[in-house]
Structure 1
Amino acid sequence: MSAIVDGILKFIEKNINPKIGIVLFGAALTGILLLKAEIVPASDLPKGTMTLLVLACCLGAWIMLAIGIMKGHEAYIAYDMRTKAKVKAESDQKAKDQNAIDNLPTLNDQELETLVFLLRRGQQRFSEHSKFVGGLRDKGMVRPTDTTFSVSQVVPAIWDRRDELLKRYGNVRTGREIPRSFL
């Protein structure tokens, strides 16, 4: 049954302009009101005119209703798709964040020194001219910013735990081979 209704709605959308429904409904309703108010005498019109006006009014109303339902359905589908995409993006980001946190124990000495240096520095964003950042990027701890690939940032999942991580890795000595490009 829904396939039939969808077919009818698609036919109306492609073949009938919504303005036709508005004009048909308005003209027929005006005719009915003129006849009911006896501004135009019913005796001057052919027999069955009132029936045709009522049918035209109903058809115009049906066209407007069908197009309204179709547009409402399209808006709902678009909203639903945006909502699902947003939920998926949030879920994907949570998985990436958890992956970055899970990878903390896998850092080698140079990667750990670089991460601690970035956290101590106090700026989430930095210019990326270091061979040590590649390992952090591979482990999901830093990423290019959305605006430019020449600037990177410590991912929020790590940055939000900055104080905790600095306490945990407070004894890590930095500066041996930290590149000057971070400074």
Structure 2
Amino acid sequence: MTAAPPEVSSPRTSHPVRLQAAGLADAAVIAALQQVCFPDDPWSGEAVASLIGQPGFFAALALREGAEGDDPVGFLLARVAAEDGEIIAVGVRADARGQGTGRRLVAAALDGARALGATALFLEVAEDNGMAQSLYKSCGFFAVGRRPGYYRRADGRVAALVLRYSYTDK
């Protein structure tokens, strides 16, 4: 049985972007965002849908409200198995960065994983992505490993840093 996505809206801020739980119907939108955010390693809608259908999985969309309707600007894919949670991917379109959306998506992952019983949350971040590393570290993640050649780039491969957040140390 697939766990219901946790509530991910955040009433603590008047940010122009709101978060909402995402499901199978949002797989194509998430895949399109993933392709924009990570063009060197694009995912299909089918690949995203297969993730969303797994037990313990949850997803969120960041939507900018506008006169012509909601504009998807970011996404979160995460899961929990036993006591370990994992952020599969977090992405924010370049034109929406620097406004707190990534931080809110990470907070949604932390809250969602805790609600599903996680005692720790893991993620991989590209070694050449200093902005994301700074965000994760400011949210309480710390490095626990390194995976050489993990991410594809147009000019080769780059290592991933494995980061961990511990709920029990807080």
**Shared fold per TM-score greater than 0.5:** no
More helix by share: 1
What TM-score comes out, normalization by structure 1 length? 0.20
Structure having the higher Rg = 1
